[in-house]
Amino acid sequence: MKRIRYELLKAIGEEKQFEDEYKAIFKPSLAAMEADWTNWKVIHDKNGTIPETVESLLTADFHTLVDVYKRFLALGIPDKVPGLNAPIKNPDLRALEKVFNYTNGFDGEIADYFVKWSEKLEIRSCYYCEMAYVNSYSVLKKGGVAKKRQFDLDHFLPKAKCPCVGLSLYNFVPSCQVCNSRIKSKKMPNVTCDEYEQISPTSEVAKFDENITVRLVMRPTGKYLLAGRYIYLRARRPYRQYVDFFKLNERYSFHKPEAERLKNLKARYPKSNIKKIAKLLGYREKKVEEDIFNMSYLREKGRCFEKFTRDLLTN
């Protein structure tokens, strides 16, 4: 439910270094990859639908990647073809997967690369759900310190459907195992390709804060329902499909006691009480408010449930 903050790199003048270091991973193999990609397109893309080179795809922005994804799907290459006893993976896709070889190819180096940049990108909590930490950590090893990761790298645009985006930097989303492996895997939210830009954490135009709001609402009494409060993530298309796809209402419902605690805290400390406490202690009102609610700490340190907390305290 949040964007990856690439602008942090731009602010410190390291955006180019970020991309250059990523491309350097593939430098020893790039010439062979380009040749194989060109040969594949000679057979399967005779009209030149996808003129992009391997090198350009490595650091293409997400807008471009969505366009490539649409053009690739338009080639009409089926996922499966008839086999002797059952359908098998299309050999044409298998051949392309060997060009953009993520699994058993570059996955380890790409993971190490994200670990290296995790602090500057402030990778702290899952970009899909904000319910689990996806940080890096250090371990002592003989001869020094090694960085490890506590996150998966998801391909927002599935490499199984479009192998040529399988190594694209701005298609990777640091995520928890639940969101990546158990929920998303090769699937996608039920939205159009054009709407992918609005709901990918790697997209510059994604606006989760403005389009998803966490609420604690009252459930009406019905024949099969008991009255009571429940957590509801209010959103409109395509963010509604995003919320439904990642089962966020269902997953956040476990945290209703925390939502009720926050609401009670807000009721106990209205602005008038905060003003009185500040005057009594000689503190600024903002400091008293922060000491009670911790909203700036959660935001600045990238803690889990930051949006959850902020929405419940401000709505």
CB atoms closer than 10 angstroms to residue 73: 12
CA–CA distance, 226 with 256 (Å, rounded to integer): 16
- The answer to whether 114 and 174 have CB atoms below 8 angstroms apart is yes
Beta bridge partners, 174, equal 153
pLDDT value of position 138 = 79
pLDDT value of position 224 = 55
**Residue 123, both tokens:** 């990778």
pTM of this prediction?
0.89
- The answer to whether 208 and 2 have CB atoms below 8 angstroms apart is yes
Beta bridge partners, 57, equal none
pLDDT value of position 300 = 85
pLDDT value of position 222 = 61
pLDDT value of position 223 = 55
pLDDT value of position 226 = 53
Torsion of CA 240, 241, 242, 248, to 10 degrees: 70
Provide the H-helix boundaries in the chain: 7-11, 15-24, 30-44, 54-58, 62-74, 91-99, 107-121, 177, 196-199, 208-211, 239-245, 248-252, 256-268, 271-281, 285-293, 295-300, 306-314
pLDDT value of position 227 = 56
Torsion of CA 295, 296, 298, 302, to 10 degrees: 150
pLDDT in tens, the chain (315 residues): 999 999 999 999 999 999 999 999 999 999 999 999 999 999 999 999 999 999 999 999 999 999 999 999 999 998 888 887 888 889 999 999 999 999 877 998 999 999 999 999 999 999 999 999 987 777 887 777 777 778 889 999 999 999 999 999 999 999 999 999 999 988 999 999 999 999 999 999 999 999 999 999 876 656 555 557 789 999 999 999 999 999 999 999 999 999 999 999 999 999 999 999 999 999 999 999 999 999 888 888 889 999 999 999 998
Say if residue 238 is preceded by a cis peptide, omega within 30 of 0: yes
**Residue 146, both tokens:** 């090694």
CB atoms closer than 10 angstroms to residue 14: 15
pLDDT value of position 251 = 95
